[in-house]
Structure 1
Amino acid sequence: MHARRAATALRTLLLAGSAMIAVAATTGSGRAAPATITSSGQYLTPAAAPGAVFTALNPGLADNPSYVAGQAISTAVSPDGKTLLVLTSGYNLVNDASGKVIPADSEEYVFVYDISNDKPVQKQVLKVPNTWAGISFSPDGQHFYVSGGVDDDVHTYALGASGWAEIGTPFALGHAAVAGNPLSQGGVGFLVKPQAAGLATTADGKSLLVANFYNDSLSIVPLSGGVPGGAATEVQLRPGVINAAQDGVAGGEYPFWVVANGNSTAYVSSERDREVDVVSLTGTPQVTARIKVAGNPNRMVLSADGKYLYVACDNEADVEVISTASNTVVDTIRTTAPSSYVGMPKYFHGTAPNSLALSRDGTRLYVTNGGTNSVAVIALNTAKPEVIGLLPTGYYPNSVSVSPDGKMLYVVNGKSMPGPNPCNEKLAADVPASCTPLQHYNQYILQLSKAGFLTMPVPATEEMEELTRLVAHNNHFSFHESARDRSMMAFLHRHIKHIIYIIRENRTYDQILGDLGEGNGDPALAEFGKTYTPNVHRVAWNFVDLDNFYDTAEVSGNGWPWSTSARESDYGTKALPVNYAGRGLSYDWEGTNRNVNVGIASLAGRKAANPLYPDDPNLLPGTGNVAAPDGPHGQVQRGYLWDAALRAGLSIRNYGFFIDLGRYNLSGALAKYGIPEINDAYAQKIKVAYATNPDLAPFTDPYFRGFDNTIADYYREQEWSREFTNYVRHHDLPSLELVRLMHDHTGNFTTAQNGVNTPGLQIADNDYAVGKLIQTVAHSPYASSTLIFIVEDDAQDGPDHVDGHRSEAFVVGPYVRHHAVVSARYSTVNMIRTMEDILGIGPMTLNDAYERPMTAVFSRDDRKWTFNAAVPQPLSATTLPIKAQTQDEPEWQPLHNAAWWANKTKGYDWRKEDAIPAVAYDHILWEGMMPGKPYPTERNGRDYSR
């Protein structure tokens, strides 16, 4: 055990070092700037600029006065420059002490600030039931408008003697479900509702323009005295809907933002189709041009003279400059860093430019880079527009505005790290008086993700240079791989020829490994300890216990992008909290868009895969995916790990990643269209998996079932094992295998087969499948050349005493250290970087390019390894064909049966990830697995390894 004692000593040094880094980062002059570290390893220093003030957005709830809103998304300055509006669009759900949502406290907000003296003074907070990014002043400055998102309407506010107030009822945009179509809910797609997005008014104030994000159209709403009235005109943006001769041609889909040029022209950003649609507003409104851009266009701003349209484009990390005279792109401005900057990163995917603001004199363009937590300052009064500096912001800036005199910037961001509970009596010497018991029941990770409001004087030149270096430091742009890292990764690249990458679902470190007996685990939080998960306990104990590992994502919606591409799209980042709060939008993060499988290009192919698919060639035609990442060198939508492997000439195989779930778990009249719930698909030659990614589809095992809690992971592992046996026989194991073992998500208690119908049994099933897969590799000819990496996509469904992102992760195989605790701070991004280095495929984004590989996990001396799976005791209560084993642990006793769990979760939708009320389910899990113990209400932050 000397190695463990040495590891503990090393842990102390690592924790001390990381703590110092997290407390302060320094600018070029050595001035200290308070810093926070994100789950991806970046540093945040929003208050670093001279004169910067970073504050929370507190709506002043009467019953929860310390509540802080999350997901600030848009800002708008009044025509007279005296008023700033800040809009939220996100989660913002507040629960009572029983975990139920408090409707009056669970709305979105418009914060109204007086900025007439530069320093913002909050004057009002207005509640809005639902929103989706759109907010705009009327030209007279006496009215403003807010898009109602999923409510398919627009709210109108007028300025009166006592301030701003909503007038009349919201203007309904009128998108109705198609009669007789059970999959229609008013939006274009399957089971999706409309979603009102960006807003703009014409110069004369007579028309309000609304981007119908989920109806692929633009609504023109008449205004009279600033108030909507009369019938709206709807302009279709899809080519095939406009002209039948263009059936099946993609265009105009996911229209997010709209800008008016005078009274005659509107520009609409089509995020999915990478184009800006030009709409003539005179005569009969219609699309007159489509301007193709390289990335996914989101927000736009027009120059004061109307000659140039500046378009922020995600994926390509640039601003594209469009001439309104010719409707062509005339310039491209990279926003990642100044071109002359010595440390300018080679990689730019992940920068995520997502909003823009022009100075009143037109010489400066300010762009928020969501992915690098910064504002890019672009000089427009030079021979060629270019970034001249970077300014640090809060976590994921979403919007920037400029004061009329050009001296002040106002930036809002959408995220924060959850960290310890600020009302934790065990941590704080003096608990804030504002803390209430209510806060203890609002610990879901999206509830803890808060917005921030940054007020910043525009820095002088010398200060901007210093701040640019700080942003570079925060994002590791100057990262240089150490000689030790380089040597170890080169060694592994020579010896490891195969990687098996397993992704599981939603568990924290403490929830599973809290009772490991080593590392920083809290045994009081081990809901599914070693009785349920003996195999991962053995893996952590016999190989490496990663007790300081963090899932980069908050939930599955960004867990899958981060786990497969080391980033998330700007659209995905903004849409996720809205979708998870039940405020509309669809789960677009695993290859489907609006629940349509866009991995299949043709109408015939889609109908063959899904008999429910309508005979509509204009329903999201082609394989455009609004949330897909680009790869390097113009590889559109090919920024996933498997794309990188294929570019490097490696072989891959997919088991369950990015599968269309639309035909799983169908009931009633639709049941006949469903894919059968069978556990021997190969034996019956029934295809149960249709890939949603066109590049992954040819390498997908059609007999390996995707996300479905009805089928046990035992049978998924059996199907994987069937193919593995053939690879052994033919000596052709792929270089990279992607394996989804998802049953630790839990669910489907009434339909689950083989008696695997309670959370404990499902977690145990998942554990055994993982153990069996490791055992199969360990006792095969590939044992000496294969590494197995295992990660949870996120850690949302359970308590952890350190952080809401901390999770279990494992590396198994040759050259993995034995009996070691590794407390280096690692994340999903570090794991991806490690796999890339071993496979020799290179990084995909600036995130994995500038993070270290997990070198501390490996040792050249630990070449030999083995593993034998244990059968978790609880599985003896199932009908899975498993032989019971003698156990060292006390005999397992069931707590509750399937009927109890089904009753507790009645009405829950288990058909896809995270469609259930997460807060309530976490409480149910605790009640069922930890009877008699109070639900944990704080993160005490203690180091239990000591």
Structure 2
Amino acid sequence: MNKVFLATAILTSTICGVFAQKQVSILQVPGVNEYCNINTNGASVLPSGRFITPAGKTLRITHDPFGLSISPDGKKAVTLHNGVITIIDLATMDAVRVPSYDKTIKSPLSNGSFLGVAFSPDSKTLYLSGGDNGAVIIYDAERFKKIDSLSLNGKVGNKDYDDSFTSDLLLNAENNELLVLDRGNFRLVRIDLTTKKITASIDAGRQPFGLALSPDKKTAFVANVGMYAYPLIKGATPQNADSIMISRHPYGDNTKESREGTEIEGRKIPGVGDPLSPEAMSVFTIDLATNKVVDKFKTGHQIGQMLEDAEVTGGASPNSIAVGSSYAYVTNATNDNITVIDYKNHKLLGDIPIRVNSRIDKFRGLLPFGISLSKDEKTLYVALLGFNAVAVIDIATRTTKGLIPTGWGTSRVKLSADEKEMYITSCRGYGAGPNGGSGFVAPPQGTYIGDIQLGTFQKVAMPDGARLAAYTQQVINNTFVSKSVATDTKNPLPVLPGASPTPIKYIVYITKENRTYDEVFGQLKNARGDSTLARFGINCEYTLPDALRVKFPGLKVSPNHIKAAQQFAFSDNYYCDSDASIHGHHWMMGVIPNEWVEANSNVSKTAKLFSNAPGRRFPGSTGSMDPEDYAETGGLWEALERKHVDFYNFGEANETAHVRETWEDTNTGAAHLVMVPMQRALFTRTSHNYAGFNTNIPDQFRVEQFKSEFTKMWITGKKKMPSLITMQVPNDHGADLRPKDGYPYRQSYMADNDLAVGRILDFLSHTKYWKNMLVIITEDDPQGGVDHVDAHRSILMLAGPYVKKGYVSHTHANFGSILKTIYNVLGVPYVNQYDVTASLLQDFFTDKPDYTPYTFDKSDTRVFDTKKAMARYSKNTNWRKIKKSVEMDDEDREREDHYKQKGKKTSGTIVN
């Protein structure tokens, strides 16, 4: 017994265990010391630091292939993207893109497309989701010609449907009919292909997303990913909409107010109801003989359920379905599991957990999406959107037999008729690679991050046991490595949450918008930059067109970014996991974008707020997290709340899909008409006097809001500063030129943002909290810029007394690394697999503090004049007062904009 005890005592602890030992094993990404790189003949390094080594034969195709169909003759595959299809010869792996880049082949999809694609029995005709136009497009795949368009709008029985939005579809060849989901009107539509008429309209749940048919063709299955049917403010009309809006989200999610309604700013606010409603995140089964809904199954883990010590806060997000003779299998993205439905006996048979490795199985992050069932109904093949793999599941034992390596963001998997091959699509393939710099040649699809980043189609021979075992190990090796480290480190960043004491007690987490590394830091020495792309640097007039160089000698766009980076520390190997703001604000707050966020953010869509189609009031996804997006047990906010760690938010998460953003909306930067809940943990900890994303409002205005509230609450007030502050200063995003408002050039927005960053650092470093503070500054995404290493490479700066001075980190970093830093310092357990496996950024820190405060530099008034920008608010900047600041206390130590600038010497050069 003593020997057993002794042996146990010297073993390394588990990730979130008790740290009595001197050594623990931590996980990090395999690319911890690598820069992003695409190598189609070897291992590619992703922005996350994970590797990509797709199995089989791989073809690079247009980004975000969310629809996939294999022709009945087994000769072709077609992938569906937004407004694009790719027709692939499976024997040769040659492909035709529709539309072609040379425009000789036109697209039949005028309003985008969403999820649905099917072949006719003769393998010659395609049925395509028309997405926003509410139609099914019939297309000749051999002659590349549109044949017809079948609208979902019109009268069915006694009800007239309008504003339809075509989602997934399938062909029931035996009846010569199409089954089509309409996410606008929350229904399943049946279309007779002989008469081309709608024969039935059957109410489904909210945001119907996935569609399947039983082998006997008698039962249809609809997976609903929507949580609520979002209402308007009571009494809202097109005429009074502007005057009736409220300045913020009306309630926290799953509260009495959100269920029953409330009153905000004198407005009557309807509730959204119960998140456990049968229509919310469910699977409907429909009897096609009677056109009646037979069952409404709530799959996966349910909101309010306790998993170990955490409450389930997000719905299961059931999204895709595979159906056998007796059982249906549903992928629950949020739960990393598959629900088994005995649909003939109308009952749930439990869940199959997808397990990939004991080191990380307790954390979420696989995001099961597409699913296929073998003919013998013994094996499931599941596309893991978050894990870059296909999981092979043995149904009888409910175990994961193995993993098959894929591209980045696996979306769909299909089997050949003889099951000797599988076909796999991935959203982002090998990643983006560079989109500018010396020697870069723009590809035909363009240079915007969302375009340059191609998806992949794989053809993989069905692996035997030995091959599957090798594939499985490859996937794990691509995802993380283990390292033994000491817990009794003097480094201020503990190796695991709470593993060692740290002098850092306060963290300020600042997010900016849309910039890449090179365009701001490309000039910095001892770092991997391209100065020719540094259009937002200092003395950067050389990046201007020849005619403007004389006008702007010594141009300084971002003096404070450069100064702070050189005074403190920055990374030249940091990447946003995101392509755009929608993804970015999820990632950076600890929520991995699920299949709904990914697919919905990559489809053309039109909001119709006063439509009778409930799905049209909420067609968008934004930088805020909507209830459809929530992770199983939440993200950063919920993790902090569970551990009773105080936090407060300035500007994050106050932006729904259709908010108004005018210069007068200064309380929060937004005005809301559609009522969408905010995360419950965040709702009571968010400032209602700070402007979030709204480029009509100067970042200087935000600084004044922040300083005023900070001073009132935590300097002159009785409360102590919370352990974490999150804040947004977004104007480096850029917007249209507004000379009268002080923004005569594109660089004006960056200069505004730069001054704000400098002023915030100046203010914080002169407070009594500075001696125990860490400031983290980053971007939510890199979509506005160019970079010679990778289009995802972006800005990461750390500042504070315990940050090394004048330091450049070359450690591969991403949002997971930032979150790991926050969790480790504040002693909060990790939430998802990206936190657990992220790089540990100890190289940024020193145990020898330097308390020297930061002093901001004023902006170059030729580019940005604060007096002009603040004039409309009847405010002027008193630099004398600002420079005095607070006395140090000794107490307690986004594509269109990208292409507008195409063809200039550098994208975004100063133009009149």
TM-score clears 0.5 = yes
Q: Tell me, what secondary structure is at the counterpart of 1:494?
A: coil
Change (3 A) 1:290 1:486: farther
Match of 1:801 among 785, 788, 791: 788
Match of 2:188 among 218, 221, 227: 218
Offset at residue 211 of structure 1 (A): 0.9
Letter of the 2:43 counterpart: A
Per the alignment, residue 587 of structure 2 pairs with: 562
Determine the C-alpha separation between the residues in 1 that align with 2:389 and 2:503.
Answer: 40
Match of 2:641 among 632, 643, 646: 646
Per the alignment, residue 297 of structure 1 pairs with: 318
Match of 1:732 among 720, 733, 756: 720
Determine the C-alpha separation between the residues in 1 that align with 2:95 and 2:715.
Answer: 67
Determine the C-alpha separation between the residues in 1 that align with 2:657 and 2:425.
Answer: 37
Which consecutive unaligned segments of at least 5 residues does structure 1 have? 1-13, 26-32, 58-68, 91-106, 177-184, 188-193, 238-251, 428-436, 600-622, 632-638, 667-673, 886-913, 933-946
Match of 1:878 among 867, 873, 878: 867
Determine the C-alpha separation between the residues in 2 that align with 1:19 and 1:87.
Answer: 32
Change (3 A) 1:860 1:344: closer
Offset at residue 876 of structure 1 (A): 3.9
Per the alignment, residue 376 of structure 1 pairs with: 391
Q: Tell me, what secondary structure is at the counterpart of 2:707?
A: helix
Check the 8 A contact 1:659/1:691 in 2, yes or no. Answer: no
Determine the C-alpha separation between the residues in 2 that align with 1:552 and 1:929.
Answer: 26
Per the alignment, residue 93 of structure 1 pairs with: none
Change (3 A) 1:713 1:691: farther
- Asked whether 1:444 is paired with 2:430, we answer no
Match of 2:627 among 611, 625, 628: 625
Check the 8 A contact 2:651/2:693 in 1, yes or no. Answer: yes
Cα deviations across residues 140-162 of structure 1 (Å, max 9, x unaligned)? 76754221112211123568xxx
Change (3 A) 1:663 1:655: same
Per the alignment, residue 158 of structure 2 pairs with: none
Q: Which residues of 2 match residues 678-827 of structure 1 at below 5 A?
A: 678=666, 692-726=678-712, 727-729=714-716, 730-747=718-735, 749-750=737-738, 753=741, 755-756=742-743, 758-827=745-814
Check the 8 A contact 1:651/1:735 in 2, yes or no. Answer: yes
Check the 8 A contact 2:666/2:691 in 1, yes or no. Answer: no
Check the 8 A contact 1:87/1:133 in 2, yes or no. Answer: no
Q: Which residues of 2 match residues 194-343 of structure 1 at below 5 A?
A: 194-202=164-172, 204-224=174-194, 229-237=196-204, 252-261=205-214, 262-272=216-226, 273-283=280-290, 285-294=291-300, 295-303=316-324, 305=325, 307-337=326-356, 343=358
Offset at residue 624 of structure 1 (A): 7.0
Identity %: 23
TM-score (norm 2): 0.75
Check the 8 A contact 2:363/2:831 in 1, yes or no. Answer: no
Q: Tell me, what secondary structure is at the counterpart of 1:821?
A: strand
- Asked whether 1:87 is paired with 2:79, we answer yes
Offset at residue 186 of structure 1 (A): 5.5
Change (3 A) 1:23 1:486: farther
Check the 8 A contact 2:490/2:847 in 1, yes or no. Answer: no
Determine the C-alpha separation between the residues in 2 that align with 1:867 and 1:259.
Answer: 60
Letter of the 1:920 counterpart: K
Q: Tell me, what secondary structure is at the counterpart of 1:706?
A: coil
Check the 8 A contact 1:645/1:736 in 2, yes or no. Answer: no
Match of 2:361 among 346, 351, 365: 346
Check the 8 A contact 1:502/1:741 in 2, yes or no. Answer: yes
Check the 8 A contact 1:360/1:405 in 2, yes or no. Answer: no
Determine the C-alpha separation between the residues in 2 that align with 1:848 and 1:15.
Answer: 14
Determine the C-alpha separation between the residues in 1 that align with 2:154 and 2:581.
Answer: 30
Determine the C-alpha separation between the residues in 1 that align with 2:829 and 2:363.
Answer: 14
Determine the C-alpha separation between the residues in 2 that align with 1:483 and 1:787.
Answer: 21
Match of 2:378 among 363, 372, 375: 363
TM-score (norm 1): 0.73
Change (3 A) 1:630 1:598: farther
Match of 1:542 among 535, 557, 567: 567
Change (3 A) 1:85 1:480: farther
Q: Tell me, what secondary structure is at the counterpart of 2:763?
A: helix
Per the alignment, residue 664 of structure 2 pairs with: 676
Change (3 A) 1:254 1:856: same
Q: Which residues of 2 match residues 456-475 of structure 1 at below 5 A?
A: 456-475=460-479
How many residues get paired? 749
Change (3 A) 1:852 1:555: same
Check the 8 A contact 1:791/1:828 in 2, yes or no. Answer: no
Range with bigger deviation, 397-406 or 256-265: 256-265
Letter of the 1:629 counterpart: A
Letter of the 1:282 counterpart: A
Match of 2:600 among 575, 597, 600: 575
Offset at residue 315 of structure 1 (A): 0.8
Check the 8 A contact 1:748/1:757 in 2, yes or no. Answer: no
Determine the C-alpha separation between the residues in 1 that align with 2:35 and 2:651.
Answer: 41
Q: Which residues of 2 match residues 68-87 of structure 1 at below 5 A?
A: 69-79=62-72, 82-87=74-79
Offset at residue 125 of structure 1 (A): 6.3
Q: Tell me, what secondary structure is at the counterpart of 1:550?
A: coil
Determine the C-alpha separation between the residues in 2 that align with 1:299 and 1:651.
Answer: 38
CA RMSD of aligned residues (A): 3.7
Determine the C-alpha separation between the residues in 2 that align with 1:522 and 1:485.
Answer: 36
Check the 8 A contact 2:438/2:788 in 1, yes or no. Answer: no
Which consecutive unaligned segments of at least 5 residues does structure 2 have? 1-28, 100-106, 156-160, 227-279, 301-315, 539-555, 871-875, 881-893
Determine the C-alpha separation between the residues in 1 that align with 2:133 and 2:676.
Answer: 33
Check the 8 A contact 2:489/2:500 in 1, yes or no. Answer: no
Determine the C-alpha separation between the residues in 2 that align with 1:312 and 1:681.
Answer: 37
Determine the C-alpha separation between the residues in 2 that align with 1:923 and 1:559.
Answer: 28
Determine the C-alpha separation between the residues in 1 that align with 2:821 and 2:847.
Answer: 16
Cα deviations across residues 670-699 of structure 1 (Å, max 9, x unaligned)? xxxx893458999xxx99x99733331211
Change (3 A) 1:120 1:519: closer
Q: Tell me, what secondary structure is at the counterpart of 1:287?
A: strand
Determine the C-alpha separation between the residues in 1 that align with 2:138 and 2:565.
Answer: 57
Match of 1:131 among 110, 113, 122: 113
Cα deviations across residues 759-809 of structure 1 (Å, max 9, x unaligned)? 323222211221121112211110112211111001111222211111111
Change (3 A) 1:290 1:918: farther
Range with bigger deviation, 517-526 or 922-931: 922-931
Letter of the 1:737 counterpart: I
Match of 1:415 among 412, 428, 448: 428
Offset at residue 265 of structure 1 (A): 2.2
Match of 1:833 among 798, 820, 824: 820
Q: Tell me, what secondary structure is at the counterpart of 1:469?
A: helix
Letter of the 2:762 counterpart: Q
Per the alignment, residue 885 of structure 2 pairs with: none
Per the alignment, residue 868 of structure 1 pairs with: 855
Determine the C-alpha separation between the residues in 2 that align with 1:662 and 1:364.
Answer: 40
Cα deviations across residues 183-216 of structure 1 (Å, max 9, x unaligned)? xx955xxxxxx43111123362333110112321
- Asked whether 1:108 is paired with 2:84, we answer yes
Letter of the 1:70 counterpart: H
Change (3 A) 1:521 1:321: same
Determine the C-alpha separation between the residues in 2 that align with 1:782 and 1:350.
Answer: 35
Q: Which residues of 2 match residues 46-61 of structure 1 at below 5 A?
A: 46-47=54-55, 52-57=56-61
